[in-house]
């Protein structure tokens, strides 16, 4: 705890050195330029997703566009003045997960092998960052590295996989990358850690450059390389907030809650009601809404609107009154869980009627 890679804390708006803004702009431009090139490669390599009973699209669509995002965001992180071991940990982990996703986009990898690899990547990353020895809870600092470090590993692996699960509707995951990146940037700026804001803006810029291709026709999917990397990048921002004493874990839960709640609630529901909970399915809330006849754009707008109309105000309140952060995070999560049950209930009643 207490690590300050920037060495310069400023309170107020997102005030960054010009060279940091240039790094963010470079990420955006590079993402825009690389996406069509990666799409051309995907088409020539036959990397396409075909419509099917467990998929939400209805036409053959190339995948793997996340490679452009990773290359752009990775360069942005490289250009920022992160400490050497942090930079090695972040870029090494991002490269490893991107390679895993890129290979997965080409051919299926056994689930257990994928999980073991992800856990090893998470272990090396947490070790490079020095580990988590203590967390502030209930007004006190709880020193328990034996608990926080395993939870950090599990959390990173779950973030990687849940964002992979949630990448099943046009623009949904990319929009989440932009929204979470901007919300994290604001949170880091509020708490006076500008380097964290620059990191978060690089994430947002990378996914923003890809977003128009993901929303337009003919489309382009980010694939596992983009969705797994999104989970890792957001996990990196969570760890950065914790280790620099800038953004509390409660705030990070709030920022990422829209995807985390949908994926986690769906997994727990399937574990308690299904035999093979690890098999492909269409039971996430966004998938249920599409089955109800919602368009991909409408679903994307709903999730983005939830981020900006519910999560963002709660985030602002939690930053203004930090002592209420845990309560606001809990209320937001409970509200999202309730919404998840409502969607599940509506779709079940509709399927029975039909």
Residue 53 has pLDDT above 80, yes or no: no
Is residue 91 within 8 A of residue 74, CB to CB? The reply is: yes
pLDDT for 113 equals 96
What mean pLDDT is reported for the chain?
A: 91
pLDDT in tens, 303-333: 999 999 999 999 999 999 999 999 999 999 9
pLDDT tens, residue by residue, 122-175:
999 999 999 999 998 767 889 999 999 999 999 999 999 999 999 989 999 999
| Pairwise pLDDT comparison (343 vs 3), residue with the higher score | 343
Q: What is the pLDDT of residues 231-279, one digit of tens each?
A: 999 999 999 999 999 999 999 999 999 999 999 999 999 888 865 666 7
Average pLDDT over residues 41-48: 92
Examine residue 218 and say whether the peptide bond preceding it is cis (omega within 30 degrees of 0). Answer: yes
**What phi and psi, each to the nearest 5 degrees, are found at residue 217?**
-120, 130
Whether pLDDT at 11 is above 60: no
213/208 Cα distance (integer angstroms)? 10
pLDDT of residue 67: 97
Distance between CA atoms of 152 and 166, rounded to whole angstroms? 21
**Among candidate residues 50, 172, 164, the one with its CA nearest the CA of residue 115:** 164
- Name the residue ranges covered by the structural domains of the chain: 18-353
Mean pLDDT value across residues 49-54: 64
Q: Which pLDDT score, from 0 to 100, does residue 354 have?
A: 46
Q: Specify the pLDDT at position 138.
A: 66
pLDDT higher than threshold 90 for residue 1: no
Asked if pLDDT for residue 194 goes beyond 90, the answer is yes
**3 state SS for 241-301:** HHHCCCCCHHHHHHHHHHHHHHHHHHHHHHHHHCCCCCCCCCCCHHHHHHHCCCCHHHHHH
Q: How many CB atoms lie within 10 A of CB 257?
A: 24
């Amino acid at each position: 705890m207490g690590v300050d890679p920037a060495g310069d804390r400023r309170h107020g708006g997102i005030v960054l050195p010009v060279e940091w803004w240039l790094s963010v702009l470079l990420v955006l431009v590079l993402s825009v330029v690389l996406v069509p090139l990666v799409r051309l490669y995907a088409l020539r390599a036959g990397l396409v997703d075909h419509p099917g009973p467990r998929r939400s699209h209805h036409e053959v669509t190339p995948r793997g566009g996340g490679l452009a995002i990773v290359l752009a965001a990775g360069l942005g992180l490289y250009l920022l003045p992160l400490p050497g071991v942090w930079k090695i940990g972040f870029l090494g982990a991002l490269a490893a997960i991107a390679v895993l996703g890129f290979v997965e986009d080409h051919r299926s990898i056994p689930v257990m092998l994928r999980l073991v690899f992800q856990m090893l990547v998470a272990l090396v990353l947490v070790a490079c960052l020095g580990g988590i020895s203590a967390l502030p809870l209930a007004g006190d600092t709880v020193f328990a590295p034996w608990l926080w470090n395993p939870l950090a590993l599990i959390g990173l692996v779950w973030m990687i996989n849940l964002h992979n699960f949630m990448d099943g509707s046009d623009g949904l995951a990319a929009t989440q990358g932009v929204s979470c990146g901007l919300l994290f940037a604001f949170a880091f700026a509020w708490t006076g850690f500008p380097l964290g804001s620059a990191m978060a803006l690089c994430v947002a810029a990378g996914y923003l450059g890809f977003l128009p291709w993901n929303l337009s026709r003919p489309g382009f999917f980010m694939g596992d390389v983009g969705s797994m990397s999104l989970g890792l990048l957001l996990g990196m921002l969570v760890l950065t907030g914790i280790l620099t004493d800038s953004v509390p874990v409660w705030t990070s839960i709030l920022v990422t809650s829209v995807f985390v709640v949908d994926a986690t609630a769906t997994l727990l529901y399937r574990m308690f009601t299904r035999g093979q909970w690890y098999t492909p399915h269409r039971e996430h809330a966004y998938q249920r809404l599409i089955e109800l006849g919602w368009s991909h754009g409408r679903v994307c707008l709903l999730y983005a609107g939830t981020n900006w109309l519910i999560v963002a105000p709660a985030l602002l309140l939690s930053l203004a009154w930090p002592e209420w952060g845990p309560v606001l995070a809990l209320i937001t999560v409970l509200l999202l869980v309730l919404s998840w049950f409502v969607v599940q209930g509506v779709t079940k009643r509709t399927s029975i009627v039909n």
